[in-house]
Amino acid sequence: MEKVILLNPYFSHTIWGGKKLRDVFGYNEPGDDIGECWGISAHPSGESTAASGEFEGKRLSELWNEHRELFGNAEGDRFPLLVKIIDAEADLSIQVHPDDEYASANENGSLGKKECWYVLDCPEDAELVIGHNAGSPEELRSMVSEGRWDELIRKVKVKKGETIQIDPGTVHSITAGVCLIETQQSSDITYRLYDYDRLQNGRKRELHIDKSLDVITVPAPSLSEQIKECAQQEENSVLRISACDRYTVSKVKVSGEFSFKCDAGFVNASVIEGSGRVFDKDVKKGSHMLITAEGAKDIRMSGYMELIISYT
């Protein structure tokens, strides 16, 4: 069994995307509107494929369905997670995601969308939209219907290296200049609450007001439950940055030779800085990979690099 399978990403071009994914991460993707790199994805909206080795060219969903041994024989009818890098050249829409129960009932059996952000880069005075200021469902509906967006949305200052947990029902938006890596459930369900009246191809993008109001948590959770401050990390260490019922996310810092174990059937890994090797594979900033059940028993890395890893 291969211990690590490098993956080719899928790229999404968006109204708010930019050039960092090509210019900073080195992806060979044309255009100046590259919004998202889906580095580890088995979602039908955009799949990763194996970059080399025995499974070269195979979609991640094919590996999940046909070679479950690679994943420690994990259960489930679909690969559970999706890892993406997002470059916001402009503000994203104000949005919210449903939970599993609502998505399954209203979105053709889809998973809900719980997600975790790790800020890779941002302006010095960066803010993100995280939560809202409505005290009751009635006040929320009133503020939305009257377009009182400045009163409604809660903007929070953020810094490079911070982690933000976005549970279903959380009003949120990534703002211009922020680049982050997102670990989420394998879902592409987003309800737009507000989109600044922007035009795309001469038309306003679709909003989902009723569904948004159905799923928004009122009152919003406290920020202390959602934002984890930057932490100093020692060399050759694994720092857990988020954990919930759907995933565990950690940051790995490698300096020289480093090995560690994960209590998981498989591990997703993305290099966010530097370069090195994972087992016998050369990797660099922007590399994404699946560490298989065989590799997860004793993960071996070398070089000088930082990675975000996740598992269920």
Instruction: Dump pLDDT digits (tens) for 199-219.
Output: 888 899 999 999 999 999 999
Edge-to-edge order in the sheet of strand 94-96: 153-157, 127-132, 172-173, 94-96, 191-194
Peptide bond into 219 cis (omega under 30): yes
Helices within the chain (DSSP H only): 20-23, 60-66, 100-106, 137-145, 149-152, 209-215, 293-296
How far apart, in Å, are the Cα atoms of 258 and each of 233, 269, 273?
14, 15, 16
pLDDT of residue 229: 84
How far apart, in whole angstroms, are the C-alpha atoms of residue 247 and residue 254? 22
Candidates 2, 4, 54, 1; CA nearest to 301 is: 4
pLDDT of residue 269: 98
User: Which single residue is written with the structure tokens 């939970």?
Assistant: 99
Within this chain, domains 8-228 and 237-311 share the same CATH topology? yes
CATH number of 8-228: 2.60.120.10
User: Which single residue is written with the structure tokens 């997703």?
Assistant: 268
Q: Is 176:90 a contact under the CB 8 Å cutoff?
A: yes
- Hey, where are the domains in the chain? 8-228, 237-311
Instruction: Dump pLDDT digits (tens) for 131-184.
Output: 999 999 999 999 999 999 999 999 999 999 999 999 999 999 999 999 999 999
pLDDT of residue 201: 86
The neighbour count for residue 57, using CB atoms within 10 Å, is 10
- Model-wide pTM > 0.95: yes
Q: Which fold has domain 237-311?
A: Jelly Rolls (2.60.120)
Of the residues 192, 203, 277, 300, only one is catalytic, namely 192
Annotation marks residue 192 as catalytic: yes
How far apart, in whole angstroms, are the C-alpha atoms of residue 49 and residue 270? 15
Digitized pLDDT (tens) for each residue of the chain, 312 residues in all: 899 999 999 999 999 999 999 999 999 999 999 999 999 999 999 999 999 899 999 999 999 999 999 999 999 999 999 999 999 999 999 999 999 999 999 999 999 999 999 999 999 999 999 999 999 999 999 999 999 999 999 999 999 999 999 999 999 999 999 999 999 999 999 999 999 999 888 899 999 999 999 999 999 999 988 999 887 899 999 999 999 999 999 999 999 999 999 989 999 999 999 999 999 999 999 999 999 999 999 999 999 999 999 999
Instruction: Dump pLDDT digits (tens) for 6-15.
Output: 999 999 999 9
Q: What angle do CA 28, 29, 30 make, to 5 degrees?
A: 125
Helices within 115-229 (DSSP H only): 137-145, 149-152, 209-215
Cα torsion through 55, 59, 65, 71, rounded to 10: 60
